[in-house]
């Protein structure tokens, strides 16, 4: 499943999209950045409510497919700029993290079947 498909399936708001054709291969949820770096896998959709600039660095270094900001949080302008510059795909939704995880899981399972 591509990032573009994920955006469509979950009705996500696209803040920055580096590569709509990037494959999403899994999902991870977490707000402790070091924890995320230790556990998230390359190609994951990362659900978080953290919106500080370090999120962009963590997303870039762990090479996740996209960041999904949940629970209606918004990213400040400098964070959006940094994401655009570093090729990080930043998406958002008003849905709770739990629901987003369930939806990503279902979408991935359906794409694999």
Partner 1 sequence: MSEEALRFHFDVDGDDFTSAGQASVQVKKLLRELGVSTDVIRRVSIAMYEGEINMVIHAGGGKADVIVDETAVTIVLTDEGPGIPNIAQAMQEGYSTAPDNVRSLGFGAGMGLPNMKRYTDHMEIESQLGQGTVITMRVDL
Distance CA 19, CA 80 (A): 15
**Nearest CB to partner 1, comparing residues 10 and 67:** 67
Q: Which of residues 83-112 bind partner 1 (CB under 8 A)?
A: 86
Interface residue with partner 1, options 37, 80, 84, 111 (CB under 8 A): 37
* Options 3, 55, 65, 91; binder of partner 1; rule CB under 8 A: 55
How many CB atoms lie under 10 A from the CB of residue 9?
A: 16
What is the dihedral sign for C-alpha 36, 37, 43, 48? Answer: positive
If residue 6 lies in a helix (H) or strand (E), which one and from where to where?
Answer: helix 3-9
d(CA 32, CA 28): 12
Q: Minimal distance in Å, beta carbon 30 to partner 1? A: 9
Among 8, 38, 102, 110, binds partner 1 (CB under 8 A): 38
Using CB under 8 A as the binding rule, whether residue 74 contacts partner 1 is answered as no
Q: How many residues in the shown chain lie near partner 1 by CB under 8 A?
A: 21
């Amino acid at each position: 499943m591509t990032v573009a498909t994920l955006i469509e399936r979950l009705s996500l708001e696209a803040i920055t999209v580096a590569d709509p054709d990037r494959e999403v291969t899994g999902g991870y949820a977490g707000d402790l950045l070091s924890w995320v770096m230790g556990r998230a896998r390359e190609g994951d959709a990362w659900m978080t409510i953290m919106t500080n600039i370090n999120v962009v660095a963590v997303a870039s270094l762990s090479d996740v497919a996209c960041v999904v900001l949940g629970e209606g949080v918004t990213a400040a302008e400098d964070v959006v700029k940094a994401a655009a510059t570093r090729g990080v795909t930043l998406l958002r939704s008003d849905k709770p993290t739990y629901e987003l995880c369930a939806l990503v899981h279902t979408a991935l399972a359906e794409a694999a079947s």
